[in-house]
């Protein structure tokens, strides 16, 4: 089960600032545990941002993104109450999504 996500979208003029936090270890595959064994690579690969059901941003990311990734995105032409939805998919096929109304 994936860790919970946090999302916040606030409107400034007609641009909405969307901030999202994803709970994820983002293992690089280069770290070793205390026994000297390599910790397997495990990271988010895809991030999708939707505004009112329509995809506006598609991101591909690597293991170089920090643990528990935080992103800020901006969407324009948005209104208060519009729905912003963000989802991710990792290299093990695990996924999660969250949504909020623009405040």
Partner 1 sequence: MIENRRKILKRAGATGTLAMAFAAGLLRPEQLFAAGWNKDAFGSKSAQDALKSLGAASIADSKDIVIEAPQIAENGAVVPIEISSNLPNTKSIAVLIEKNPFPLAARFEFQEGAVPFVKVNVKMGESSNVRVLAEAGGKYFTAVKEVKVTIGGCGG
Which residue from 9, 71, 96, 102 is in contact with partner 1, where contact means CB under 8 A?
71
The C-alpha torsion from 49 through 52 and 55 to 59, rounded to 10°, is 0
Answer yes or no whether residue 6 interacts with partner 1 by CB under 8 A. no
The footprint of partner 1 on residues 29-48 (CB under 8 A) is 30-32, 40-42, 45-46
Give the number of other Cβ atoms within 10 Å of residue 79's Cβ: 10
Answer yes or no whether residue 7 interacts with partner 1 by CB under 8 A. no
- Which sign does the torsion angle of CA 38, 97, 95, 15 carry? negative
Answer yes or no whether residue 24 interacts with partner 1 by CB under 8 A. no
Instruction: Tokens for 60, please give them.
Output: 């591909």
Task: Kindly tell me which of 7 and 59 has the beta carbon lying closer to partner 1.
Answer: 59
């Amino acid at each position: 089960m994936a860790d919970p996500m946090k999302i916040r979208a606030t409107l400034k003029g007609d641009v909405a600032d969307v901030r999202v936090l994803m709970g994820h270890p983002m293992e690089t595959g280069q770290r070793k545990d205390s026994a000297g064994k390599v910790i397997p690579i495990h990271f988010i690969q895809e991030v999708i941002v939707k505004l009112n059901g329509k995809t506006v941003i598609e991101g591909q990311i690597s293991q170089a993104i920090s643990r528990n990734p935080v992103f800020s995105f901006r969407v324009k032409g948005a209104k208060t109450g519009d729905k912003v939805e963000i989802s991710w998919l990792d290299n093990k096929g695990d996924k999660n999504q969250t949504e909020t109304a623009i405040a």
